[in-house]
Amino acid sequence: MNDFQAIADRVEIEALRGEFTDAVMMRDRPRLASLFTPDGALRMPDIPAELIGREEIITGSERLQSVWDFFVQNTHPGTIVLDGDTATGRAYIQELARTLDGREGLNYAVYHDRYQRTEEGWKFAERVYEIRYLDTSPLAGAAPQAAPAAPAAAPAASFADPASAERLERAAAALRANGFAAEILDDAAAARARVRDLIPAGAGVLTGASETLRLSGIDDDINTGDRYDAIRPRVLAIDRATGADEIRRLLAGPDVVVNSVAAVTETGSLVLASGSGSQLPANAGGAAQAVWIVGAQKVVPDLGTALRRVEEHALPLEDARARAVYGSPSAVNRLLVLNAEPRPGRGTVLLIREAIGY
């Protein structure tokens, strides 16, 4: 092989490594996968993750990227050793990252690479990621969209942290001013007992698809006992192909709807998000009575921050759950914002001092 060919190969391999970083930063997962041979492997034992083949690289990187608040990767040139149509090499990495659940840090790492010449040019046959230094100290900076634009703004990392007692009191007062009943309770057990007090025996009760209800035990109390006429088990027993109208009517107008929300603002608004929209009519006004159980981490300053919480925090977590349970992604196809309750006594918000659900 002449010197010009060797130079060309080195330039192309270096461009391949640069393309990898750009695809990661731009979250362009199909392009990222195309940089590997069809059976290429991306191995990250420190994560841990092992993705083999282009399809796994696409789905695996989507799973990893869905939890980022922000991620910055810098690649520095390393060694390249050519051997005909194959090559080996190393690239040196510096990364800054914060996840939506608040984990963050700085690391320095090495990619140990094997390259393969193909008809489409040089591709990765294997990349093995090795962390050499990790610092998990809190990062001083933030992603631009998470930086405070005004005193009310909050970084995305706070979306998992319970609000202070002062902020809970402020939200409760605003909710009451907007026509909701609002109570602050110590924990999920207290909310579970309060729901039983609020809903009369024999009422037709619809529960929303909510991790808060599941984790608190409220979902089981309503849907597996005989105290109430539970709507959700009835809906699940109906054939969706022949009973769509019956399902729609049952979901739209129960006696009581019990649910959580994606966010509650300190200005007294509730925000609910849904993929299908089927549970929203009852929350909006179709149910004669509504009870919303809300963990303290869902309290945000204003509506703008609430919408960011939906997209940046709640959606990625719900998407991961939906893929695991249903085998399909989630999406925010419907949004419901309740700014006030015009029917006094209809809606009750139970604010819990601890974090529960997402």
**Hey, CA dihedral for 220, 223, 229, 231, is it positive or negative?**
positive
Residues of the chain with pLDDT under 50: 1, 146-157
- The C-alpha atoms of residue 17 and residue 54 are separated, in whole angstroms, by 17
pLDDT of residue 8: 92
For 53, how many CA atoms within 13 A lie in the half-sphere containing its CB? 3
Two tokens at 351? 């604010």
Q: How many CB atoms neighbour CB 96 within 10 A? A: 16
- The C-alpha atoms of residue 41 and residue 111 are separated, in whole angstroms, by 12
- Render pLDDT for 110-156 as a digit per residue (tens, 0 to 9): 999 999 999 999 999 999 999 999 998 888 877 665 444 444 444 44
Q: Is 4 left (phi over 0), alpha (psi -120 to 50) or beta?
A: alpha
- The C-alpha atoms of residue 59 and residue 41 are separated, in whole angstroms, by 13
- The C-alpha atoms of residue 236 and residue 263 are separated, in whole angstroms, by 27
Q: Which residues contact 353 (CB under 8 A, 6 or more apart)?
A: 162, 165, 168, 184, 185, 186, 187, 296
Structural domain spans, the chain: 3-135, 150-352
With CA atoms as reference, report the closest residue to 347 among 283, 273, 277. 283
pLDDT of residue 158: 67
**Hey, CA dihedral for 8, 10, 11, 13, is it positive or negative?**
positive
Specify the 3-state DSSP secondary structure of 250: helix
- The C-alpha atoms of residue 258 and residue 101 are separated, in whole angstroms, by 26
Two tokens at 73? 């990767």
For residue 271, which phi and psi values (nearest 5 degrees)? -125, 125
Two tokens at 47? 């994560």
State the Cα angle at 323 between 207 and 247, rounded to 5°: 35
CATH 3.90.1150.10 fits 3-135, yes or no: no
Specify the 3-state DSSP secondary structure of 103: coil
pLDDT of residue 144: 67
Pick the CATH number of 150-352 from 2.40.420.20, 2.30.30.40, 3.40.50.10420, 2.90.10.10: 3.40.50.10420
Two tokens at 5? 């060919």
**156 in Cβ contact with 144 (< 8 Å):** no
Specify the 3-state DSSP secondary structure of 27: coil
- The C-alpha atoms of residue 41 and residue 228 are separated, in whole angstroms, by 53
Q: Which residues contact 243 (CB under 8 A, 6 or more apart)?
A: none
pTM of this prediction exceeds 0.75? no
